[in-house]
Amino acid sequence: MLKSMTGYGRSEIISGDKKITVEIKTVNHRYCDIAIKLPKKLISLENGIRNVIKQYIGRGKVDVYVSYEDYSNMNLLVKYNAELAREYLLNLEKMSQDFGIDNDIRVSTLSRYPDVLTLEEQAVDEDELWEFVEEAVKKALSHLIEARVLEGENLKKDLHTKLEGMLALVNSIEERSPNIITEYREKLKAKVAELLGDTQLDESILATEITIFADKICVDEETVRLRSHILNMKQTLDESDNVGRKLDFIAQEMNREANTILSKANDIEVSNIAIDLKTEIEKMREQIQNIE
């Protein structure tokens, strides 16, 4: 199904004393560009998160924000640095001797000296932590994909409408083209009559001139190719994922044909239709830039 590259997904999971929040925002981008912001405790899981995201997203600028809170104290450990405490005591005793003053140090006082007692985080079970994080990431991605699919369906409807409008413009060019030859023939005969008076013009010369003119302004090949591109784009819109690049290429080919028609046009009506055609193609290309 067609997906937009623009979307937002969020998840929040609370398990016991742990809480994780994942927010994922995507916008259009030529490639799959992933930026992840993690708290220090989850840095080791970045590659795993990146790999999960790539399973869901083929193209787009992806910004991921993860916050993690652990309200329990079970993972904190008080560590006693005996060697450092001994160094403090030895130096305090030396100060007592050097200055002739009592050494009144107590355990409670010594424990407050820098780094004698420290709080350290115990190692966590990374497999358990990854399961917790992975669940939140996948849940946020699921919400993101829902938003991208919904926006993709809206884009698909809009593009189908634009393609039908372009088809009508192509029809108008094809309907107008034969009249251009007829009008040119009449103008040419009138001009010759004005210049030569009653002198009879050789019909073969007139036919040759009209044939050269008709060949010069003929856009049959271009309109046939445009019809083919329009049909191809309609079929592509109904394909599965990652069709954005293909759609963009088809739109470029459409624009090429429209430019050729405009350059060949020797008629104000066809020129105006070709300009409208190019305008619609450009609008369509802007929409296609948002498709994955």
Q: Is 228 exposed, middle or buried (0-12, 13-18, 19+ CB in 10 A)?
A: middle
* Structural domain 152-288, CATH architecture: Up-down Bundle (1.20)
Please state the domain extents for the chain.
Answer: 7-71+125-148, 76-121, 152-288
Class of domain 7-71+125-148: alpha beta
* Helices assigned H by DSSP within 73-125: 82-99, 107-110
Task: Name the E strands within the chain.
Answer: 7-15, 18-27, 32-37, 60-70, 76-80, 117-121
Q: Are 40 and 15 in contact (CB under 8 A)?
A: no
Query: Phi, psi at residue 212, to the nearest 5°?
Result: -60, -45
- Per-residue pLDDT at 73: 57
Q: Are 226 and 256 in contact (CB under 8 A)?
A: no
**Token duo for residue 259:** 């430019």
**Residues 149, 154, 158, 160: is their CA dihedral positive or negative?**
positive
- Per-residue pLDDT at 262: 85
Phi-psi region of 63 (alpha: psi -120 to 50; beta: other; left: phi over 0): beta
**Token duo for residue 194:** 């004005």
Amino acid in position 272 = N
- Per-residue pLDDT at 271: 86
Full pLDDT tens readout for the chain, 292 residues: 789 999 999 999 998 888 999 999 999 998 899 999 999 889 999 999 999 999 999 889 999 999 998 876 556 677 888 898 899 889 988 988 888 888 888 888 888 889 888 877 666 678 888 999 999 999 999 999 999 999 999 999 999 999 999 999 999 988 887 776 666 566 656 665 565 565 566 666 666 666 665 556 677 888 899 999 999 999 999 876 779 999 999 999 999 999 988 887 777 888 899 999 999 999 999 999 999 8
**Token duo for residue 191:** 């001009």
- Per-residue pLDDT at 206: 61
